[in-house]
Chains A and B, each alone.
Chain A
């Protein structure tokens, strides 16, 4: 019997899967009575919900809300920061700046200038791969739990991953079960305004190993990066960048990276 998550089946019923994924689920539903009956149940509830919410919307459309909501009384576009108050605010700022300048004798830089100078002296931002290794040093077995923002379900993580790194061929999370590691959590994180996915794996005793995936990046061969106790291997292929990080020996991480690369493909 094939196990498919409710999330995947609902996405199928709601027509949210792409054609290859939908075709695969349809085939399984044909072959497996359990899946077919679960799909039927979801279709029943979906039908109820669509009929009800569709009827509510039609009712609202038939009875416009003009009387309850008038758009004509919208506040003026300029509002508080319109031209009326601008000269006052500008004058106030000028006075504050003048006081600050003369109180320092007009020579010492203001504290904000010092901060700016310090920032300009700071080393250039490190790249994503090394920063991810730093991030990984903060996670441990105890911190790994699934929440509403993350998923432990392989099917859902696979859907996330495929949407995240848009390819013609669906991507599935690497399977490290032969190496004693199972997928514990998949979640989306932010890095300087860009999003990336973390797929965390745990074994019986080992600290987590995680594959980090970010869309974009020119193809690049595997490179070792060591940051403290965290060993990583990074590479890029097929329009996505990958970093595998863990507290394992570098050879082990590299071996897992090869497994991941082979399973993900181009």
Chain B
């Protein structure tokens, strides 16, 4: 990933390539398909409008994700009467035909849909978009410990959920980042497996 100041003319095409990632995060925050599309569209407009003003080393994806979170928070704060957070639409978190677990992935989608929006967002940034904890913290404008706390809560809740349903160990992981982690700590994994 490069920086905005390096590639001003190609912002639009790069933003186009970022759309799936932006929409993923928007879905995690809003929990609704229609609202997530609208949020993604608005953020794209903001980025395109302000791109010419951006000086320095602004990373496009982080900038767009940060704008998205800020906009979403602003909208929440503007609500006259804050309402209780409803569960998200599970379809947004259903891995579909690409999932290796079939029916279990549908259940997992429901589990994720019931998580608080901030936790869904943190999961999406770290495990969906492959951001580091530091980058996720930058998007949220919080310290890295806040992200860690949110992730740990998700993991604990998921662990309890898996135990309750008698779901065992995860399949062989296919995510590139996970491969990298595995290579670094391959020795440890081998010993544990033994």
Contact = CB atoms under 8 A, between A and B. Distances in A.
Contacts of A6: 152, 155-156
A26 interface: yes
Band of interface residues on B: 35 or more
Interface string B38-59: 0011001100110010000000
Given A53-B124, A56-B24, A45 B170 contact: yes
Interface in B9-55: 12, 15-16, 19-21, 23-24, 37, 40-41, 44-45, 48-49, 52
A53 B127 contact: yes
B155 A56 contact: no
A108 interface: no
A51 B45 contact: no
B73 interface: no
B47 to A, nearest CB: 9
B5 interface: no
B143 A48 contact: no
Q: Which of B40, B155, B169 has the most CB of A within 10 A?
A: B155
A64 B20 contact: yes
B145 A7 contact: yes
23 contacts: A6-B152, A7-B148, A11-B148, A13-B181, A15-B177, A26-B187, A47-B170, A49-B154, A50-B127, A50-B174, A50-B178, A51-B95, A51-B101, A55-B95, A55-B105, A57-B129, A59-B95, A59-B98, A74-B45, A79-B49, A149-B143, A159-B144, A160-B144
Interface of B: 12, 15-16, 19-21, 23-24, 37, 40-41, 44-45, 48-49, 52, 92-96, 98-101, 105, 108-109, 112, 123-124, 126-129, 132-134, 142-146, 148-149, 151-152, 154-156, 158-159, 162, 168-171, 173-175, 177-178, 180-181, 184-185, 187-188, 191-192
Given A39-B192, A66-B19, 5 more contacts: A10-B155, A69-B44, A71-B12, A75-B49, A149-B146
